[in-house]
Homo-oligomer: A and B are copies of this chain.
């Protein structure tokens, strides 16, 4: 596996590979890999000749007071894990090379960045869209793979790709879960054992809500959201940020769930750690 640090070197490498007819797959990450990341790399491996994983904790998607400095990092371990799933290039730029002095260009997917996670993190998706667009321009992928764990991120980036006419196929990889059902996340390392045990409620209630729809025919969004909120509120450490049921097409709230287009998404704090999870059908 090749490790490339500089954006212009990465871009030269990518353009040269494309000239040779290679199909490039990109998995953008912030590192500290778990099985979720690896599953995305495996998907990219199936869809591309050359798999590039970017490993960059992007400062512009963290607000002051968020966990940019504390975000877990282990580059050596990441490299070993990526190599094991046959990644070709690890692109790990420096933040001063990604945002040189004078940078002032940002991309916004309007309104979609201000709802759901955007309510408590109003500048987050602007940072995400901008860094991903930069990575796309540097790595020149034909296909990009993102996790459905960050459902709003995936839908917003897919919208951006369409709106900006980028010739990139967007693939979403399924959420990887621990045995307990807890969605895998680099941030799970922040949880105490007690919090981690309790946080299982998120995936459990989402599954229950899905069964309520399919088995009991309950399709009223208010009823479903109240059920989910009630379950999380019973925990000792859990504090709800949001529980929403929206259309994946428009991101607008749904009154009645509709098969094929429904996203039930939530965010909750357990102690100081903010976790997200979702289910779709």
Contact = CB atoms under 8 A, between A and B. Distances in A.
A166 interface: yes
Q: How large is the interface on A (under 10, 10 to 19, 20 to 34, 35 or more residues)?
A: 20 to 34
A7 B165 CA distance: 8
A108 B105 contact: yes
Contacts of A11: 165, 167
Nearest to A126: B108
A104 B112 CA distance: 8
Interface stretch (A131-139, A197-205, A212-220, A266-274): A131-139
Given A104-B111, A105-B108, 9 more contacts: A15-B167, A19-B19, A105-B129, A106-B108, A108-B108, A134-B163, A137-B166, A137-B167, A140-B167
27 contacts: A15-B167, A18-B18, A19-B19, A19-B21, A102-B159, A104-B109, A104-B110, A104-B111, A104-B112, A104-B159, A105-B107, A105-B108, A105-B159, A105-B160, A105-B163, A105-B164, A106-B108, A106-B110, A107-B107, A108-B108, A130-B164, A134-B163, A134-B164, A134-B165, A137-B164, A138-B165, A140-B167
